[in-house]
């Protein structure tokens, strides 16, 4: 019987056969993995291997054209041409006019404290979060779920920030803040945080009073406390940094004004959790650059931090950028952070944060290298601080965390807020490239049921020119599915194309959803 007639007549017997064989077909083609469901509530195991290719690929270091990435389970294997990598893995997906990138890293978030849905953050392109202030918890995720690295509660002065604003009573390891009043107590808290899973230590050196700062607005029914707020003493800050460094942990400081910056620099902190909100003296900012401090940006959410003279977070960023430009060997750098948990920023990749980073840190003109540096700040450079080899890159043995978007995000950051593909630990979370997930299932089913027409089984999938298709070299045939008309076509060895009908009917017949 010809394939056209065989497929176009669905008898009750054939329908039963189709539905009964649908599951086994999925197992055959995907080594036991069902990729038909892109809902983050049900995450399938990572396939043994997969090759993804696109017109553009950013590996965390450089942008390349017409390259592919090979994933093996939950790790990246290598980057190369699609033809080269397809020799190592038969499961290939071509994304066409799209860009593949490492999953983004959010370096300042309050996911746990603000009860932000982790699946939503992941679905919007953030595969790793540094949660900087909240209940202490061990590292989780990275296997189809958001990877969350906790600092635990912020170490603060008694009566000071953040407990005086956000509540939490006397504080503790399950709150946003934990007060310390002596060197011995501070050292004990640092040790307990590290034992409990903290990946870094965060301290608060916030005296309050900055115009436009979100912590200077009422929270709940409590008025903002009178400023200045209590700060950790210099000897306690010194002790925290020394103890944390002994335990091989970074120290992150929330600093707001000159006094807090001064204490942080004197103690040798590694990172500023924000660009400071109040206008900071040029001398202190230059000193911070000379000491190699990392600056997490959060420019968008703190964009209202401007005093009557127009000085504040924007002027601070300009000054630091200028100092880094003239002192490139100090190690000081900007790292992307949007502060997920605030209501005025996306709970995912923030295109506006990237845009502001680009224009505030690039000097008088913007070129491609500046764009590259901004995206590195959200991927490879951010990953270097987090003690997970290869995190934020697509290098060999890196975690198989990646995203893809249609078009070119190097020309338009906004595309990154709505990724068309999200993979965490090799597991597909989001796939918006047409009907591709369900279509993969249909291809697998058809190869089992019609091997004489579709051989060899397991041909790679291509997405191009409005079609999802597979080419079968032995049978000299093609199966095409149109993205716009949602119809299935078959072209045999004779070169004649047959319209086999509506895609939705075949998905139902094959049991693919």
CATH number of the domain within which 408 lies = 2.30.40.10
> Cα(241)–Cα(309) distance, rounded to whole angstroms?
35
Residue 410 class from Cβ within 10 Å (0-12 exposed, 13-18 middle, 19+ buried)?
middle
Residues 55 and 119 reside in one and the same domain? no
Residues 375 and 493 reside in one and the same domain? no
CB 230 within 8 A of CB 180: no
In a domain, residue 462? The reply is yes
Residues 145 and 269 reside in one and the same domain? yes
Nearest to 380 by CA among 390, 369, 368: 390
Phi, psi of 86 (to 5 degrees): -65, -20
In a domain, residue 28? The reply is no
Nearest to 268 by CA among 247, 296, 294, 231: 294
CATH number of the domain within which 478 lies = 3.30.1120
Q: What is the model's pTM?
A: 0.82
Residue 486 pLDDT = 77
In a domain, residue 258? The reply is yes
Residues 324 and 423 reside in one and the same domain? no
CB 299 within 8 A of CB 357: yes
In a domain, residue 22? The reply is no
Residues 166 and 264 reside in one and the same domain? yes
In a domain, residue 334? The reply is yes
Q: Tell me the residue ranges of DSSP E strands in 62-125.
A: 63-72, 75-80, 92-94, 98-102, 104-109
Residues 450 and 339 reside in one and the same domain? no
Residues 170 and 65 reside in one and the same domain? no
CB 297 within 8 A of CB 336: yes
Residues 90 and 149 reside in one and the same domain? no
**Count of structural domains within the chain:** 3
Residues 266 and 360 reside in one and the same domain? yes
The tokens 């980073």 sit on which residue?
Answer: 357
Residues 74 and 120 reside in one and the same domain? no
In a domain, residue 168? The reply is yes
> Cα(9)–Cα(94) distance, rounded to whole angstroms?
32
CB 233 within 8 A of CB 264: no
Q: At what angle do helices 351-361 and 368-377 cross, to 10 degrees?
A: 130
Nearest to 151 by CA among 104, 189, 206, 205: 189
Count CB atoms within 10 A of the CB of residue 311: 15
- Give the DSSP H or E segment for 74: none
> Cα(312)–Cα(461) distance, rounded to whole angstroms?
52
From first to last of the 513 residues of the chain, give the pLDDT tens digit: 344 433 443 333 233 333 333 322 222 223 333 333 333 344 556 778 889 999 999 999 999 999 999 999 999 999 999 999 989 987 788 898 999 999 999 999 999 999 999 999 999 999 999 999 999 999 999 999 999 999 999 999 999 999 999 999 999 999 999 999 999 999 999 999 999 999 999 999 999 999 999 999 887 778 999 999 999 999 999 999 999 999 999 999 999 899 999 999 999 999 999 999 999 999 999 999 999 999 999 999 999 999 988 999 999 999 999 999 999 999 999 999 999 999 999 999 999 999 999 999 997 889 999 999 999 999 999 999 999 999 999 999 999 999 999 999 999 999 999 999 999 999 988 888 756 667 888 998 999 999 999 999 988 887 766 688 899 999 999 998 887 677 899 999 999 999 998 887 888 788 876
Residues 156 and 182 reside in one and the same domain? yes
Residue 220 pLDDT = 76
The tokens 């091989």 sit on which residue?
Answer: 248
CB-based contacts of 333, cutoff 8 Å, min separation 6: 294, 295, 324, 377, 381
Distances from the Cα of 500 to the Cαs of 55, 453, 479, 495, in angstroms?
Answer: 30, 14, 10, 15
CATH number of the domain within which 307 lies = 3.20.20.140
CB 33 within 8 A of CB 46: yes
Q: What is the 3-state secondary structure (H, E, C) of 179-200?
A: ECCCHHHHHHHHHHHHHCCCCE
In a domain, residue 35? The reply is no
In a domain, residue 271? The reply is yes
Q: What is the DSSP letter of 401?
A: -
Q: Distance between alpha carbon 40 and the CA centroid of its chain, in Å?
A: 15
> Cα(231)–Cα(162) distance, rounded to whole angstroms?
11
CB 459 within 8 A of CB 472: yes
Paired sense of beta strands 177-179 and 154-156, if any: parallel
Structural domain span for residue 293:
104-387
Q: Distance between alpha carbon 296 and the CA centroid of its chain, in Å?
A: 16
* 433, 466, 488 - which closes a domain: 433
Residues 202 and 327 reside in one and the same domain? yes
Count CB atoms within 10 A of the CB of residue 5: 9
């Amino acid at each position: 019987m010809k394939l056209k007639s065989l497929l176009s007549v669905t008898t009750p017997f054939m329908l039963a056969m189709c539905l009964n064989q649908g599951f086994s077909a999925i197992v055959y083609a995907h080594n036991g993995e069902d990729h038909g469901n892109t809902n983050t509530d049900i995450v399938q195991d990572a396939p043994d291997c997969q090759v993804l290719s696109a017109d553009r690929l950013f590996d965390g270091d450089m942008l390349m054209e017409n390259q592919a990435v090979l994933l093996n389970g939950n790790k990246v294997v290598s980057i190369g041409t699609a033809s080269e990598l397809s020799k190592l893995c038969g499961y290939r997906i071509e994304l066409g006019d799209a860009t593949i990138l490492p999953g983004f890293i959010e370096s300042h978030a309050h996911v746990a404290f603000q009860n932000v849905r982790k699946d939503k953050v992941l679905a919007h392109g953030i595969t790793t979060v540094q949660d900087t202030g909240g209940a202490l918890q061990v590292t989780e995720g990275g296997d189809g779920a958001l990877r969350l690295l906790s600092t635990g509660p912020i170490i603060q002065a008694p009566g000071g920030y953040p407990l005086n604003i956000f509540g939490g009573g006397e504080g503790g390891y399950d709150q946003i803040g934990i007060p310390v009043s002596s060197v011995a107590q501070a050292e004990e808290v640092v040790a307990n945080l590290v034992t409990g899973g903290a990946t870094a230590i965060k301290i608060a050196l916030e005296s309050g009073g900055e115009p436009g700062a979100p912590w200077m607005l009422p929270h709940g029914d409590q008025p903002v406390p009178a400023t200045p707020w209590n700060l950790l003493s210099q000897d306690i800050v010194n002790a925290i940094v020394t103890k944390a460094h002994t335990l091989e942990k970074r120290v992150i400081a929330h600093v707001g004004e000159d006094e807090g910056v001064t204490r942080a620099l004197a103690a040798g902190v590694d990172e500023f959790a924000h660009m400071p909100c109040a206008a900071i003296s040029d001398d202190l900012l230059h000193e911070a650059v000379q000491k190699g401090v990392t600056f997490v940006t959060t420019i968008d959410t703190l964009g209202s931090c401007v005093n009557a003279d127009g000085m504040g977070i924007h002027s601070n960023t300009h000054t630091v950028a200028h100092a880094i430009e003239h002192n490139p060997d100090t190690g000081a750098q900007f790292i992307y952070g949007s502060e997920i948990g605030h209501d005025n920023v996306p709970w995912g990749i923030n295109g506006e944060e990237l845009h502001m980073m680009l224009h505030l840190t690039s000097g008088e003109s913007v070129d491609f290298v500046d764009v590259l540096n901004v995206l590195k700040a959200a991927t490879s450079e951010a990953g270097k601080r987090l003690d997970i080899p290869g995190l934020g890159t697509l290098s060999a043995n890196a975690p198989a965390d990646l995203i893809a978007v249609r078009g070119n995000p190097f020309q338009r950051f906004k595309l990154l807020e709505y990724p068309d593909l999200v993979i965490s630990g090799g597991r597909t979370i989001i796939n918006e490239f047409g009907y591709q997930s369900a279509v993969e299932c249909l291809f697998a089913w058809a190869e089992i049921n019609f091997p004489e027409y579709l051989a060899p089984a397991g041909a790679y999938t291509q997405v191009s020119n409005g079609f999802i298709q597979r080419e079968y070299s032995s049978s000299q045939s093609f199966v095409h599915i149109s993205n716009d008309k949602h119809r299935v076509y078959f072209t045999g060895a004779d070169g004649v194309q047959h319209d086999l009908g509506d895609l939705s009917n075949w998905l139902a017949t094959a049991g693919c959803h």
